[in-house]
Chain A
Amino acid sequence: MTDFTASDAVPAPRKGSLLTQDARTKQRNAKEARFRMMGLVAVTIGLLSLVGLLTSILASGLSSFQQTYIELEVYLDPAKLDKTGNRNPEDIAKVSTFGYAPLIDAAMGAAIERVGAATDINAKAAGELISKEAPASLRDFVLANIDRIGETVQFDLLAAGRIDGFFKGRVTMETAALDRNISPEQLQLADQLKEAGILTTKFNWAFFTAPDASDTRPEAAGLGVAIIGSIYMMLIVLVLALPLGVAASIYLEEFAPKNRWTDLIEVNISNLAAVPSIVFGILGLAIFINMVGLPQSAPIVGGLVLTLMTLPTIIIATRAALKSVPPSIRDAALGVGASKMQAIFHHVLPLAMPGILTGAIIGLAQALGETAPLLLIGMVAFVREYPGGPPEGFFDPAAALPVQVYNWTQRGDPAFVERASGAIIVLLVFLVLMNIAAILLRRRFERRW
């Protein structure tokens, strides 16, 4: 009975044609189409947010690469700068920057007269067009060139932040009317100076070289100290993390016996790579600063903390690179009589090098953008002195690029928003360069089997 019913259950041959889809096929095809759509939507959302992010940063940050300068002929009045008249450097150094401000006001007045600008603002208000940084640059010049006191010297002085903002569209006549730091009359004067060619907008080299500046002179703030600090930290990370990481992975991958201990270490390395970076900051504060007694705000501490953070990344990348070298290479080397160490150092390591370097660069890029651990070890500070040359400079206070961004976003003067976005652009350019280097290395040297 059962046999009979079974043979009876042979399915009827499928009807219809390949050209017309039945309901089930349609359903499956629709499912696939929906999935594709969702994928596209996901990619589009990702791209749109990236474009949005980049446009907002570029829109507010690109202007920081331009800076407004005012060209003034300043008479270095001996009556003000060298009251004794004996050109003694010590006496001249006693004149503080406050003593230089009147010289600039006078030079400004002379410039207004020369170009015949029609304005009824007083000398003090006209002097406010010039940055508060200007007396300091004037003083530096005089102290370096004492013999030029009494001459009229041409200076390219920074324009005040609000004036700079006016030519970048951040400050308008309407906002100036409400702003107690600038008046529409001052802006009109700035316009006239621009027409006369005294006021010019130039590429802002100082943004890359100058140190940070206080809240009263955003126009003078630059990334110099932060860039040096970041480079120092990357150097430390590279010098410490690369050899340590590579040595550790070669040992773990090639020599270590497979037992419970090495398993434990392996699990820990993977876990360490996932530890939030702020934890490394706390560790750095406790060990490097409080226990070892290293100085605060110094690149050495930042570098060490970032080294700990980058090590797992490098170890994992290096091990993956070593693993991808086919065992036949090792076997062949051993077969012709090479020792294990020779096989690894002469044959396996060179083949794994592109992968190792890529991993190291990506680890470095990650460390470069890291902010959280640096907050805890005093890198978020107002630092104006350039650190010395390495290695002593590693112990001098410095800032770092990402913390400089953080720092500037907290300032009261709106001009710092532009500076912060500019600093983000610089940081992004560094990161992109590093990632391109990683890609190029991989493209050029990677071998596939």
Chain B
Amino acid sequence: MLFKSTVSALALTALAAGTAAARDNIQIAGSSTVLPYAAIVAEAFGENFEFPTPVVESGGSGAGRKKLCEGVGENTIDIANSSSRIKQSDIDLCASNGVTEIMEVRIGYDGIVFASDINGPSYAFTPADWHAALAAQVVKDGALADNTNKVWSDVRADLPGDEILAFVPGTKHGTREVFDEKVIIAGCEENGTYDAHLAANGGDEKAAEKACMALRTDGASIDIDGDYTETLARVDANKNGIGVFGLSFYQNNTDKLQVATMGGIEPSVETIASGEYPVSRPLFFYVKNAHLDVIPGMQEYIEFFVSDEIAGPDGPLAAYGLVSDPELAKTQEMVANRVPMGVLN
């Protein structure tokens, strides 16, 4: 019986699918880091244009790109938001599904900040401190040894004597990649552990990097698989915990969090734009060019997104915490000419 009902439900949907009208709204999916920016733009777009407000889904950068590459047609998405660059595997998947022309649009930069409870001590870190505090293995007396640092002052004498407890983004987050690359590996090279790993691995650079990235598992470093609100709740509950946040999230919660400097630089829109603050990454969205003339308003949306009044330094995105791209004019020109991205370099 149930089988019968399922079949009739299917028949009904098949019937309905035939009558479904052509899609007139833009569909966007991808990174939850880009989501708030995309939502701000979608909202302003809907207000100012005759086109319907685009639908923005989250779900992660990788998932968004995969969805983009599912093929061409109205039941696939038009734009994928991404907090990391597209991978060759994505491009190959796209090509095998007939999605040949993808436009890469860089919307700006996102800073990654280290923040602790507002009532706790303030911190001034370097990447080397973070590596020494969180890595599974550190150099001790000239040899690699398991990390036994308990408090921050064990890492460097002038840091506060509070327990080491870090909430870092889980491995499924795009943020983690940046954290690994710009903080942990950079710190690893800075404090000389990299050379030790290199020697231990017989000069294999890949293996040395991997060894650098291995974080300790004794509870000092905790992976957060949820979003920044979860990290905030953890920091709230553990007053000596330090969380990894996006700049815009921190800026919305400055009454609860204080930010640590990294390499002596305080993160802000200015220091990230100038490149002084080391931990930042570009944010992108990827456009399926084949849909540009099919979905009404798509070209307008993309041009609106990268326009000066939206993505420029005085626009609403910068006000929310996006570091605007100094090369925005170039992007605007590329978008206007619909230049698809070339080979990955």
A contact set with B: CB distance below 8 Å: 93, 96-98, 132, 136, 139, 171, 175-176, 178-181, 213-217, 240, 244-245, 248, 251-252, 265, 268-269, 272, 287-289, 292-297, 300, 304, 307-308, 311-312, 315, 378, 380-385, 392, 394-397, 409-414
Contact = CB atoms under 8 A, between A and B. Distances in A.
Interface in B70-100: 74-75, 77
Given A265-B1, A384-B42, A244 B254 contact: no
21 contacts: A178-B118, A179-B254, A181-B251, A216-B316, A251-B1, A252-B1, A265-B2, A268-B2, A287-B10, A288-B13, A294-B20, A296-B57, A296-B77, A304-B13, A311-B5, A381-B55, A385-B46, A392-B21, A409-B229, A410-B58, A411-B36
State which size class the interface on B falls in: 35 or more
Interface stretch (B24-32, B199-207, B214-222, B278-286): B24-32
A269 B36 CA distance: 42
Interface of B: 1-2, 4-6, 8-10, 12-14, 16-17, 20-21, 23, 25, 27, 29, 32, 35-36, 38-40, 42-44, 46-48, 50, 52-53, 55-59, 74-75, 77, 118, 227-229, 248-249, 251-255, 309, 316, 319-320
Contacts of B43: 213-214, 217, 384
Contacts of B40: 214-216
B244 to A, nearest CB: 14
B25 A307 contact: no
A180 B251 contact: yes
Nearest to A251: B1
A394 B15 CA distance: 14
Contacts of A396: 25
A396 B23 CA distance: 9
A384 B253 contact: no
A95 to B, nearest CB: 9
Nearest to A283: B6
B17 A216 contact: no
A292 B39 contact: no
B188 to A, nearest CB: 31
A269 B4 CA distance: 13
Given A384-B46, A385-B46, 16 more contacts: A136-B47, A181-B251, A213-B43, A248-B1, A248-B2, A293-B17, A294-B16, A294-B17, A294-B20, A295-B20, A307-B9, A378-B29, A380-B57, A383-B55, A395-B16, A412-B229
Contacts of B55: 296-297, 381-383, 385, 397
Nearest to B42: A382
A178 B57 CA distance: 32
Contacts of B17: 292-294
